[in-house]
Structure 1
């Protein structure tokens, strides 16, 4: 199966999991479990909520224990929240200001999640491999996030 088809199927599975549930935390928990069990070569999948204008706080996730609070503008997650743009990082160790929550992580993708026109949270996925994520992963995960955003209004 090609990545485009894989992500279309994954988004359909995500929609089936969350479409009839209104609780955001429950939906994030199921989405992180779905991503963690469906994506190959990853070691963490989860969410950080925007807790204040200056800080993200850990939300539902799958994987090793993680950093609880991340300043907006710091690390890959904080940069995604600040710039309101997906961050696709081939080598986190080369990312200026990287926050090493798990030393085993080598590449990362973070997608901002919008509610009422503002960044509400970010989806963070880490891999132990360098260059694990590409433009197909980016577009596929952004489509999955868009379908999740529709449940937030």
Structure 2
């Protein structure tokens, strides 16, 4: 399934006010993980209150030990500080990478902004080397914009 086909499904999930926000985000994670072959783990991390750390809120894929990530640590922690998209074609080439699984070869992290503030991010792990394109980045920015509307 391509990104254009997924957009209306993402919107439908996020607009379902009969279920809570966390469950809607989990359903979006599941939709992406199940329909994009190289999205092997999809999760949303958010700033944990006033702490300088991220907390996993919703995900699809293998469970992770990394439910809390300090700002500056790993790819997610770096995005929390930089406010910039981070595409990692080869995680082994990153000095500050936190391994979630030995199978992960690439990662993309896109910050999620609400009223101009970086409040969280979407994190995708892939077992495929260098799979992410500008289209992935554009689509995930759009997903985050839609998620921001329900926060």
TM-score (normalizing by structure 1) = 0.89
Structure 2 unpaired stretches of 5+ = none
Paired residue for 2:92? 93
3-state SS, counterpart of residue 101 of structure 1:
coil
Runs of 4+ in 1 over 4 A off after TM superposition: none
For the residues of structure 1 that align with 2:26 and 2:135, how far apart are their CA atoms?
A: 24
Aligned residue pairs total 148
Please state if 1:77 is matched with 2:76.
yes
- Name the CA distance, whole Å, in 2 between partners of 1:62 and 1:103: 17
Structure 1: 5+ residue runs without aligned partners? none
Contact 1:7 1:141 in 2 (8 A): no
Partner residue in 2 for 1:46: 43
Alignment partner, residue 20 of structure 1: 16
Contact 1:11 1:147 in 2 (8 A): no
- Asked whether the equivalents of residues 43 and 127 of structure 1 are also in contact (C-alpha less than 8 Å), the reply is yes
Which of 26, 31, 36 is the aligned partner of 1:34? 31
Q: Matches of residues 51-130 of structure 1 in structure 2 within 5 Å? A: 51=48, 52-66=50-64, 67-130=66-129
Which residue matches 1:11?
7
Distance apart, 1:120 and its partner CA = 1.6
Show the counterpart of 1:131.
Answer: 130
CA shift digits 1:22-48 (9 cap, x unpaired) = 732122111111111111123211111
Question: Do 1:49 and 1:121's aligned partners in 2 also have CA atoms closer than 8 Å?
Answer: yes
Q: Deviations over 1:50-91 (max 9, x none)?
A: 104410112211111211111111111111111111111101
